[in-house]
Copies of this chain bind each other. A is one copy, B any other.
Amino acid sequence: MEVKKLFDYSVGDNLEIYVLIKSAEARMAKNGKQFIAFNFADRSGEISAKFWDASAEDIAAFQTGKVVFLRGKRETYQDNPQIKIFNLRLAQDNEPNNPTDYLQTAPETRTEMEAEFKKFILKITEPNWNRIVRHMLNQHHEDFFEFPAAKKNHHAYAGGLAYHTLSILRLAQTIVEQYPEVNASLLYAGAILHDLGKTQELSGALGTTYTLAGNLIGHIVLIDEEIFETCKELQIDPESESVLLLRHVILAHHGLLEYGSPVRPRIMEAEILHQLDNIDASIQMMKTTLEHTEPGEFSERIFGLDNRQFYRPQQ
């Protein structure tokens, strides 16, 4: 028998379910008592809940990364899904208490994705770019296939970084077929490395936060430095035109200075990478939000899309 997941329950249903504590934050209520603001998760998605009148023991026990057995009711608070908690306890050793079983993951397996990345790397025919990409992917191989692509907003799940990158590569391939003037090697190399700095900017897949280097330097500059280092190690001139082009594509991929790129795109492939990055992130945000919206309704507001609400058609 299939175990029901969080979003298999409708609003108003009572539920008894094992869930992961994706995040837990103790705060003081307006009445002066402590409560815990939870995000519970399983592979169907995330949902928030408040645990009122929390004791010091509760706060110590129910921490980020724990699996708990939850009895409660699915409700809605200000258009967002929410759980009303009746009862909560830690999952025991004889129960399904492995956190990674509850993390959302990319819709394709790591093995499939690894194979497809190999094919794309073969298409990078410029030797310097090919060596740099191989070397850097090797060094970050585990993190690249484990990390989310962002703290929240889009592709915020285990493997999201690799999946987002792969999705951009597929769009890039259509572009390259349509426009032979585009330098495929450069576009692919740039796409693969563009967000790799997130492995330094973010702390990991669970309870994701920004590192100090992430806050003070940012993933764009962090990865540029690493390309610079890699060139030295591989004895490639980091000031040669081919390396300057690759670095530029990555430095410029946020498109606008306002979005944190220190330079705007000044070669064609940089502009294209920026736009493909944007479109893939946008689709992912809309898709995730609409999955939890009823047909015929408007969704909650999407922060990363100018706080717009999107309509889910009835048909």
List, in ascending order, chain B residues with CB within 8 A of A313's CB.
Answer: 183, 241, 245, 267
- Minimum CB distance partner of A210 in chain B: B298
Check if B170 sits within 8 Å of A174, measured CB to CB: yes
A275-B283 Cα distance, complex, nearest whole Å: 10
Cα separation A135 to B309 with both chains bound (whole Å): 33
Asked if A61 CB lies within 8 Å of chain B CBs, one says no
A216 & B244 in contact (Cβ 8 Å cutoff) = yes
Contact between chains at B242 and A315 (CB < 8 Å): yes
CA distance in complex: A213, B259 (Å): 21
Which 10 residue pairs spanning A and B have beta carbons closest together? A216-B248, A174-B174, A262-B262, A275-B279, A268-B286, A225-B228, A216-B244, A181-B287, A257-B258, A267-B311
A123 interfacial contact with B, CB 8 Å:
no
A30 interface neighbour in B30, B276, B290, B298, Cβ under 8 Å: B30
Q: In the assembly, what is the distance between CA of A245 and CA of B313, in Å?
A: 8
Q: Given the complex, which residues of B lie within 8 Å of A17, measured CB to CB? A: none
* Chain B residues, CB < 8 A from A259: 257
Residues of A within 8 A of B (CB): 27-32, 50, 52, 75, 77-78, 82, 84, 126, 167, 170-171, 173-175, 177-179, 181-183, 212-213, 215-218, 220-221, 224-225, 228-229, 239, 241-242, 244-245, 247-248, 251, 257-268, 271-272, 275-276, 278-279, 282-283, 286-287, 290-291, 298, 305-306, 308-315
Alpha-carbon separation in the docked complex, A227 to B190 (Å): 24
CA distance A126 to B52 in the complex (A): 48
Residue of B whose beta carbon sits closest to that of A305: B271
Given the contacts A268-B283, A268-B287, A262 and B171 also touching, CB distance less than 8 Å: no
Inter-chain CA distance A173–B305, complex, in Å, is 23
CB pair A263–B260 under 8 Å, yes or no, is yes
